[in-house]
Structure 1
Amino acid sequence: MSLRIGQLPDRTPVKLTVSVDPDLASALTDYAAIYAETYGAEEKPETLVPAMLDMFLSSDAGFKRARKALHARASKGE
């Protein structure tokens, strides 16, 4: 049988622990407050950070080019 979509990739979350400086922690807390005001839904900063990182990485053209080259080199065994 052939389906329109292929098998979904592994979507098991991977937990990362990071430390941020106090100014960044404060900015993330403020962002969460503004998010709540904007959308009427409260989210903790740690819930918003993965979406922020995803948005950042997906909009970074230099990273996308370098990542593609990195994977191309790795597939060639360099």
Structure 2
Amino acid sequence: MATKLKLTRIPDDKPVKLTVELPADIHQDLVVYAEVMAKENGQQTPEPARLIAPMLQRFMLTDRAFLRLKKERRS
């Protein structure tokens, strides 16, 4: 059964290093998400930390209020 994950690939981009503390349950969810994503795409399981940036990006790209404010700020 194919799932429809919002995240399918991790872009290869030059990172900015941040240190983030996550609750254990969120980390476990990232581990599971990475495993499911790898299985769906026939790839190796990525490190859970590599999912955070694409997930945040996807979240911000779908937040209409944020996009509106971002556009207003640029003007």
TM-score by length of 2: 0.71
Tell me the CA shift for residue 12 of structure 1: 4.3
| Aligned partner (choices 24, 28, 34) of residue 22 of structure 1 | 24
Q: CA deviation at 1:14?
A: 1.1
Alignment of 1:9-48 (within 5 A): 12-41=14-43, 42-48=45-51
Larger radius of gyration: 1
CA distance in 2, matches of 1:65, 1:16: 26
Query: 66, 69, 73: which is aligned to 1:70?
Result: 73
Deviation at 1:47, TM superposition (A): 1.3
Deviations 1:6-61 (A, max 9, x none): xxxxx742111111101101111110110111111121111121111111111111
- Unaligned runs of at least 5 residues, structure 1: 1-10, 73-78
Aligned-residue Cα RMSD (Å) equals 1.6
Equivalent pairs, count:
62
Percent of matched pairs sharing the same residue: 34
Q: How many angstroms does 1:68 deviate by? A: 2.2
The structure richer in helix per residue is 1
